[in-house]
Chains A and B, each alone.
Chain A
């Protein structure tokens, strides 16, 4: 574990240089242990694949203090089993919601129904959230489904769209431009700043996609919008 200042008010803790379950456990363990301290001098946490960034108030805390806080937190984290919260995300894999499903099926040499089966039966983990509020970087995409992103991003990808790019799969939490290949849509609001917590996903969650039909999608979408 390496700890270094990233700025005068931020430290970067690095566990490695690659994506792995081991690093995931280290990052989550440390993140949770530090968050539980609820220290008012700490402003923000940025967990990532193999690192954790911590923003703090440099006028109330020194780099040395953070370092020693880190060391005891890591020790505690290593002794604490990592609890995982399972989040089930309903996804409608209709062609209307997944305009790139056929492209992916062709590229992978399997029928579209098989793409849906592989995608929805895999077990995913949320490595971290970033890029946009509520956007989870998910690990666990079956290798057969890896596809390159679009050459030209779409100007508008509707919120809830489920996509694949390279080794990653994820859900667009808000309307935005996007270059991922879209295979479906969830009726869930992945980010709602008025809800507690504001995101459906938290770093460290386990995720399962559950295939639903269009009627089910419309029903859930309706109840989501009235909350």
Chain B
């Protein structure tokens, strides 16, 4: 009988092993890493009976070609694969020897593949996520390559309930991102803030897990002050000297010296993980209370979807 393993026949553009990231190490300069679209990762895991935080394959823009050495249950959640050879957003039983060619992804930037039992990679600093910049975690600290073989854990019993139907809603692509005011929003002044909130920005090709570089109306602070390096929160939107916003992301550095005008709300961080180069994005300001309420609502919706 074949060992439960996945072989990478073609890695696609950037495929890495991720879970929900590693917290608690930022004071040592270690960023959390983890799934760029954690909502999709959690849903994919739940569909195959895994804990939400089990290790998954994260595929970017062009999906991987995978060979499943043994029969197993998988789920694909996120951007659409093409051609649509497998249903997404539901658990699927595949036979030993099945080859899945995900092709170019559409309607989003990333797709997560969960396997019942999870991917078996050693945990480093409490997580299976890949830290690309410092080359550790995940599968030998790097992006997957042709010929890599990843073992799978013991598969979980199948879901005894129907497949939730509203999951696509939870990861629906949105180009309007909700933000709260950042720590330096006041140095920018009212005019710059108005510009920032009313402009449409383009996601440039120079975007990755460290951050999304946007292009559009330059945001210039009302007063130029030297900013002392300080801690950076996930999803901070920093404005470098050229005025082009950068949305900091899962692999971002833990400290920084550029002024931060706004911060993406926690509930919308998974949308950042689905923005592709050449997508447009607009920002909508919300209060801190609204941001926390949105997060709570999202968690309730996720829990309810799986109660069906």
Which A residues are within 8 Å of any B CB, using their own CB? 4-10, 12, 14, 17-19, 31, 35, 43-53, 55, 58-59, 63, 128-135, 137, 173-174, 176, 191, 193-194, 197-199, 202-203
Contacts and interface: CB of A to CB of B under 8 A. Distances in A.
Contacts of A128: 27, 255
Given A50-B228, A59-B295, A7 B29 contact: no
A198 B125 contact: yes
Contact of B295 (A19, A49, A51, A58): A58
Contact of B266 (A8, A45, A51): A8
8 contacts: A7-B265, A8-B295, A46-B230, A58-B295, A59-B296, A129-B29, A132-B134, A198-B25
Given A43-B23, A129-B29, A7 B263 contact: yes
Contact of A52 (B28, B231, B235): B231
Interface in B224-272: 228-236, 253-256, 260, 263-266
A194 B266 CA distance: 30
Given A55-B234, A191-B134, A8 B27 contact: no
Nearest to A55: B233
B180 interface: yes
A31 B27 contact: yes
Interface string B270-300: 0000000000000000001001100110010
A46 B28 contact: no
Contacts of B136: 193
B23 A44 contact: yes
B263 A19 contact: no
Contacts of B27: 31, 35, 44-47, 128-129, 203
A46 B25 CA distance: 9
A44 B28 CA distance: 10
Nearest to B141: A193
Given A12-B183, A46-B26, 5 more contacts: A131-B255, A132-B134, A134-B29, A174-B134, A191-B134
A48 B134 contact: no
Contacts of A52: 231
A173 to B, nearest CB: 8
Interface residues of B, number: 44
B228 A17 contact: yes
Nearest to B125: A193
Contacts of A198: 25, 28, 30, 125
Contact of A132 (B23, B133, B235, B260): B133
A52 B255 CA distance: 10
A38 to B, nearest CB: 10
Contacts of A19: 228
B131 interface: yes
Contact of A44 (B25, B131, B228, B291): B25
Contacts of A31: 27
A-B residue pairs, 4 tightest by C-beta: A46-B231, A53-B231, A130-B255, A10-B233
A19 B257 CA distance: 14
B11 interface: no
A41 to B, nearest CB: 11
A7 B235 contact: yes
